[in-house]
Structure 1
């Protein structure tokens, strides 16, 4: 499950321009259960908002904190869709998690993946406001979909959903509720080449081996 993303300057500038953001994106490393920046549309403009990277929250000592149920990823199951916890958000409160690289792990082996051409990654996400209009408390999750065969040795249970630039407006439109239109986006696809390198782990994103390249799917398979 994807629980760490990085955002570098060049991809961030491209995201800001593409989505007409009025505030700069924060650069750095973002981990699950901690604040992450999301991009959503308020009905007029695209907004950048801080949210806790854990969809389900509960009140403890008068504060909203992560639930004991893991939900930093919202998994979409082929033929079944989302679990009930995420279906309303899928219709009404979709977001983008901006990134330029991400970490996947399996059996305590971790890899960092980044587009070879330094293009930005637009991860599909869901968000929720647990507070009120005057005191909003946002949470978010990253959508995961069935695994891609090319990622089988990196993570063989799921992969994060990545939205192509041409579908961003539809995805962010809060008034667009026809979720069947997103069916093709839920299919495992690699639209660009990725450079992959094994790293020390979640807390130390340093390479420990020489990397390799995953080639994008052929254009015919993406049509």
Structure 2
């Protein structure tokens, strides 16, 4: 996944979340056509059995500054699934204690060859929205009293249906099943082996893909096409 989400005030996203008992109307939810890495994004997490929406910086590792926090020099808007069970990695403890979901309408991918962009695509849910599987971390600066919340999207190996769009990886998209989402958000589940199947590339819902010129301009350059969900 290449650092941009499509988080919009979409009826399908709202319906999906309400059906899973996720309220999007907490304090200052973020609705935007595009959200890029290092920008604020709305996440849903659970603390002491209470599900809540919070604003997090889309960059898991933060560094302390004189005035608060800033994104680390280490790239961490995504967390690779093969690092989740590596001790001392950025996502190891978060995978066990602070999982979250990021409700979105879609996501973007960019394909690079020799460091140059080859093409850009946006994918959106054909119906409803998507729940990205993510991690979050809390940060506290004892010297200033400042606190911050950060997050990342878990990425999986490339899916055969998406390899022509992005050959390196795909984001984790949670199936819209309440029992699974409940387990993912349950902070009391600290042994993540039950999520092993989620670490395999899978498309749980139908997607509509659109090739665009550039993310900032967002003009279509080819007809949209459908990517069917896995059986």
TM-score under structure 2 normalisation? Answer: 0.86
The answer (yes or no) to whether the contact 2:22–2:44 under 8 Å persists in 1 is: no
Residue in structure 1 matched with residue 61 of structure 2 by the alignment: 56
CA positional deviation for 1:63: 2.1
Instruction: Return 18-27 or 138-147, whichever deviates more.
Output: 18-27
Distance in 2 of aligned mates of 1:158 and 1:22: 28
- The answer (yes or no) to whether the contact 2:174–2:204 under 8 Å persists in 1 is no
Match 1:185 to one of 198, 203, 213: 198
CA drift at 1:12 = 2.9
Deviation at 1:136, TM superposition (A): 2.9
Q: Which residue of 2 aligns with 1:202?
A: 215
Cα distance between partner residues in 2 of 1:65 and 1:88: 21
Partner of 2:173: 162
Deviations 1:174-194 (A, max 9, x none): 111120000001111112221
Structure 2 counterpart SS, 1:180: helix
Query: How far has the Cα of 1:100 moved from its partner?
Result: 0.7
Aligned partner of residue 205 in structure 2, secondary structure: coil
The CA deviation at 1:205 is 2.6
The separation in 1 between residues aligned to 2:2 and 2:24, in whole angstroms, is 28
SS at match of 2:198: helix
Q: 2: CA distance between counterparts of 1:23 and 1:204?
A: 29
Q: Helix, strand or coil: the match of 1:96?
A: strand
Gaps of 5+ in 2: none
In the alignment, structure 1 segments of 5+ residues that lack a partner are: none
TM-score relative to the length of structure 1: 0.89
